[in-house]
Amino acid sequence: MSTIYAPEGDSAISQILAAYELPGTIMDIARHGKGHINDTFCVSCRTPEGGTARFVMQGLSQAAFPHPEEVMENFAGITSYLRREILAEGGDPSRETLSLVKTRDGADFVMDADGRLWRLMPYIENADCYQQATPELFEASGRAFGRFQYMLQDYPAQTLHETIPHFHDTEDRFDRFLAALEADRLNRAKEIPAEIQFVLRRQADCGVALRALREGKLPLRVTHNDTKLNNVLIDRDTREGICVIDLDTTMPGLSINDFGDAIRFGANHCQEDEQDLTKVNFDISLYEVFTRSFLEGARGSLTPGELEYLPWGARLMTLECGIRFLTDYLDGDHYFRVSHPKQNLDRARTQLKLVKDMEEQFDAMAAVVAKYAK
């Protein structure tokens, strides 16, 4: 972390912090974490007793979240609910869920002069985020995300704001792909007939989950929608996942998508833009590790329909991600950052290769779920 503020200085950030009753003197404000969306800082205070109290301060991205008040309504409602559930189970809500520090006038956030929303949260000590998965860390994250589903199973999902409309609407992602293909702004379609046909042949697959929702086979749940390993805090002593973080995309959705996105991210060993597709393989042993721990954490809260569709969640989230990368490549690389002209194409190819692997091992994936759902 690099210090951006010294006590004798004056900054817009220190002015925002003046809205809070902090437990001591600000000693340091430093950039924190590796996130690309929000601006995140660690604020360190020296308490009157000579100790240190730390906080996480975040400025929400106005581009990603055009209605930040709705994000905060979701955040406050979910974390307050989790706090009550954790207390009821005899847990420690100060470590097992995020929470908001109220301003001096009792608000959950501060708006700066530019209309940007800022929030302050207690720093959860003795816990870390990890960027690279090991089987042990992947297992710990599975248990944490499963517990997230268990704890929120009775939360009224329909009361949450949809902070990013159509975020995991695979049918909508397919339609956007068709539009980009028809426009073909940079005349790139002729270079990638195999990838285009791969996606076109799977149009019916894109509707599997949403059809199941419409037919009542899957319930609407509170879902995190960004279930990567680095969104779980791992306790340094127990090595367990103690707290699910980065709740800004939490909204109504399908549990199978949260499960599936974690599998997409963690059940392979390659870089996202690996060009050698012989190195890109779906690892069903890692899939089994995560499935077992996810179902342990969920503690029987998933319906029979959800259990049946968990393998579809992995397959669809991977297909959806590949479609998004391919759409952006056809559209001129406007959404995902690229370091070279074909990076989005490379990214799409890795995801589509994983989809192919999952299709070939789909029966085995279903058998794994059945094994641990008993």
Per-residue pLDDT of 330-367, as tens digits, reads: 999 998 989 999 999 999 999 999 999 999 999 999 99
Looking at the fold, whether 170 and 307 belong to one and the same domain comes out as: yes
Looking at the fold, whether 54 and 150 belong to one and the same domain comes out as: no
The pLDDT of residue 134: 92
Looking at the fold, whether 88 and 207 belong to one and the same domain comes out as: no
**Domain span at residue 92?**
3-124
Looking at the fold, whether 97 and 189 belong to one and the same domain comes out as: no
Looking at the fold, whether 249 and 345 belong to one and the same domain comes out as: yes
Looking at the fold, whether 167 and 72 belong to one and the same domain comes out as: no
Tell me which of 8-22, 24-38, 223-237, 330-344 is least confident.
Answer: 8-22
Please write down the HEC assignment for all residues of the chain: CCEEECCCCCCHHHHHHCCCCCCCEEEEEEECCCCCCCEEEEEEEECCCCCEEEEEEEECCCCCCCCHHHHHHHHHHHHHHHHHHHHHCCCCHHHHCCCCCCCCCCCCCEECCCCCEEEEEECCCCEECCCCCCHHHHHHHHHHHHHHHHHCCCCCHHHCCCCCCCCCCHHHHHHHHHHHHHHCCCCCHHHCHHHHHHHHCCHHHHCHHHHHHHCCCCCCEEECCCCCHHHEEEECCCCCEEEECCCCCCEEECHHHHHHHHHHHHCCCCCCCCCCHHHCCCCHHHHHHHHHHHHHHHCCCCCHHHHHHHHHHHHHHHHHHHHHHHHHHHHCCCCCCCCCCCHHHHHHHHHHHHHHHHHHCHHHHHHHHHHHCC
Give the strand pairing for 110-111 and 25-31: unpaired
Name the domain count of the chain: 2
Looking at the fold, whether 153 and 285 belong to one and the same domain comes out as: yes
Residue 291 lies in a domain: yes
Cα–Cα distance for residue pair 184/331, rounded to 1 Å: 7
The pLDDT of residue 1: 35
Sign of the torsion formed by the C-alpha atoms of 208, 303, 257 and 74:
positive
Residue 186 lies in a domain: yes
The pLDDT of residue 222: 99
pTM value is: 0.94
Domain end marker among 93, 124, 155: 124
Cα–Cα distance for residue pair 205/312, rounded to 1 Å: 9
> Residue 197: which pLDDT band, with cuts at 50, 70 and 90?
very high
CATH code of residue 90: 3.30.200.20
Residue 130 lies in a domain: no
The pLDDT of residue 174: 99
Question: Tokens 């998933």 identify what position?
Answer: 302
The pLDDT of residue 4: 42
> Residue 2: which pLDDT band, with cuts at 50, 70 and 90?
very low
Looking at the fold, whether 80 and 54 belong to one and the same domain comes out as: yes
The pLDDT of residue 37: 81
Residue 231 lies in a domain: yes
Cα–Cα distance for residue pair 330/187, rounded to 1 Å: 8
> Residue 35: which pLDDT band, with cuts at 50, 70 and 90?
confident
Residue 269 lies in a domain: yes
The pLDDT of residue 337: 87
Looking at the fold, whether 147 and 276 belong to one and the same domain comes out as: yes
Looking at the fold, whether 347 and 252 belong to one and the same domain comes out as: yes
Q: Quote the tokens at residue 208.
A: 């599997």
From residue 35, alpha-carbon distances to 3, 44, 60, 198, 353 in Å are 17, 20, 11, 32, 27
First to last CA, the chain: 46
pLDDT greater than 70 at residue 6:
no
Looking at the fold, whether 180 and 274 belong to one and the same domain comes out as: yes
pLDDT greater than 90 at residue 7:
no
The pLDDT of residue 98: 99
- Average model confidence (pLDDT) for the chain? 95
Per-residue pLDDT of 99-157, as tens digits, reads: 999 999 999 999 998 899 999 999 999 999 998 889 999 999 999 999 999 999 999 99
Looking at the fold, whether 119 and 153 belong to one and the same domain comes out as: no
CATH code of residue 143: 3.90.1200.10
pLDDT greater than 50 at residue 182:
yes
Domain end marker among 124, 149, 171: 124
pLDDT greater than 60 at residue 9:
no
CB atoms within 10 A of CB 253: 23
Residue 31 lies in a domain: yes
The pLDDT of residue 131: 87
Domain end marker among 70, 96, 124: 124
> Residue 8: which pLDDT band, with cuts at 50, 70 and 90?
very low
Nearest residue to 177 (alpha-carbon basis) of 350, 348, 340, 354? 348
